Structure 1
């Protein structure tokens, strides 16, 4: 790491520390964890499947706490499995409930009344265990330094993923952000891969305006981003160079791959 990089990293750490201590910047983590993991063929809810002796949800919580310098987290879960989560978690969290899966934006909506006005929200997904601490830390630092309304984590790739496609103009500004869009241009492509920070006020401004997706009937966080882009909100994106961070644990094969990567 060169001297400039060291200075910037130090500066980001100071900004984050001051923001948390003085209350200038408040960040709470919301982890979407209502999935049952049927494709994973597990006897427990997917977030409670263990990798290297630790549940997936614990891996994600630890990384979020490291990146945010805060120990506040809301877990959005299926209420039928609250007892399972309570028996496994070793850190205090608050629960919100999503009985019927109606999309990522619907899951986030269930947590909104538990979040204070003025707080920004780091949304995480319980099955994205390979997102690195460094990527999350960089995401938070970018959000603070540029005073972004929304800041998302993305990656560029030659492969097609079933994630939201990010498009930018020649100046690097985000101009389109569309869930499950099939790219109509040549790679490399940029995909949104999960973690995202949103101002609570931005979520509240758009969440009631979302329309269910025609094919799934669900509402998505990606659609909030798309609406914010149309309204010229300050949209920021941190791009990771590590394609391993794209992997979500949905199948036994994904689980095996995650175990091998985490071990390295």
Structure 2
């Protein structure tokens, strides 16, 4: 795969999304759709990635810093977009083939990409494209074949004749080209279509007329080639990705009581024999150990690390915090920017007040501490090992609770157990 570069087309405005955010930066299960494609090709060993940017290019570049971005200053079509990468690709003699993807197809799988590339390489083709059969192909370009079943061309919907529109084989929009064949084809295409744009798909007819072989690979999974152009399609892609994530987690030994009412984002990690109860939200960059109980109605936000055998109950929100093993946080709590040790009890209604209106501060709760019901901990503050806070205590900032001591009241003060009544 090292001699194959990837071009991802991400320059479009996405007007049907009706958004100030570039289409490819909209999140699906907590991750921008463009990043799914980048991660997929990187995972199969393809590290030469070029992203063609245009509309609000600065936002896209910022999101995928470290990836080579090439700007298409005028949106003159997909063929023109690929041409923007010509000089960078031609001067790299190690690149012999080019994979081309659309940035709004985040559901495309690694397996399909690998299958397409393997067919392309084994056939020594000038181009290989991904196709599918649809009973209702409206909106897709049609793959036109000769009587001998050879691909002749791709016709876009707007330019298709009545006879071509009845063709059920569609162009999915995933291609692998021989580098020389690609740029030969791009030099020959013209904007002779209703949109007056340079279509990448027109290169296929150029190649077949020059007797350069064009191959295809088919997919039977319509979810894979769902293009996200509207908010409704974004919602559909979210549903598909959510199901994939949950299936992967359950296959790894996690029990999800009600998958239809559980939300887990891409990038969350959960250990085996953990049980997730309904209406739980687990966002990206959350790590949960084994044999835990999470939910119902819990929300774990990015930067949360949960140890083994932890119980997190209903209406608990945790963010940027570490929870030690055997700790219990059962009811109606907010834990933010906190390091909690092992075997700690966090009573119902506990609030860590981590934000002072200007900055967020850290709280530390050491091993075996017992935080009483309704305690408020105003950060920065530390509760020592084995310390206890009485119900309703307010531990003010920098008033650390010594190890083994008990505090009560507002503001919380150490109980003098030797004081006579």
Residue in 1 aligned with 2:71? 97
Could you tell me how far 1:188 is from its partner in structure 2?
Answer: 6.3
- CA distance 1:128–1:183, shift in 2 (3 Å): farther
Q: Distance in 1 between matches of 2:67 and 2:15?
A: 25
Residues 198-221 of structure 1, C-alpha deviations (whole Å, 9 max, x = no match): 112112222222111331110111
* Equivalent residues in 2 for 1:1-264, closer than 5 Å: 20=2, 26-67=3-44, 69-78=45-54, 80-82=56-58, 84-89=59-64, 92-115=66-89, 116-117=92-93, 118-169=95-146, 171-180=148-157, 181-182=160-161, 184=163, 189-264=168-243
Question: What is the distance in 2 between the residues matched to 1:155 and 1:196?
Answer: 13
SS of alignment partner, residue 65 of structure 1:
helix
Aligned-partner Cα distance in 1 for 2:195–2:26: 26
Partners of 1:178 and 1:226 within 8 A in 2: no
CA distance in 2, matches of 1:165, 1:188: 6
- Secondary structure (helix, strand or coil) at the match of 1:221 reads coil
Shift of 1:169: 3.9
Superposition deviation, residue 42 in structure 1: 2.1
Structure whose CA Rg is larger:
2
Q: Report which of the two has the higher share of strand.
A: 2
Q: Which residue of 1 aligns with 2:407?
A: none
Higher relative contact order, chain-length normalized (CA < 8 Å, sep 6+): 1
Mapped to 2, the partners of 1:41 and 1:210 lie a distance apart of: 31
Count of aligned pairs: 238
Q: Following TM superposition, by how much is the alpha carbon of 1:168 offset from its aligned partner in structure 2, in angstroms?
A: 2.7
**Once the 2 structures are TM-superposed, how far is the Cα of residue 53 of structure 1 from its aligned partner?**
0.6
SS in structure 1 at match of 2:224:
helix
CA distance in 1, matches of 2:108, 2:162: 24
Task: Indicate if the aligned counterparts of 2:142 and 2:167 stay in contact, CA closer than 8 A.
Answer: no
Using structure 2 for the length normalisation, give the TM-score: 0.54
Root mean square deviation, CA, Å: 1.9
Please, which runs of 5 or more residues in structure 2 have no aligned partner? 244-421
Question: Which string of whole-angstrom CA distances, capped at 9 and with x for unpartnered residues, describes residues 123-158 of structure 1?
Answer: 111001122221111001101111111011111110
Residues 95 and 79 (structure 1 numbering): CA distance in 2 closer, same or farther, change over 3 Å? farther
Q: 1:52 to 1:138 in 2, by over 3 A?
A: same
Provide closer, same or farther for how the CA distance between residues 158 and 212 of structure 1 changes in structure 2, counting only shifts above 3 A: same
Question: Shift of the alpha carbon at 1:232?
Answer: 1.3
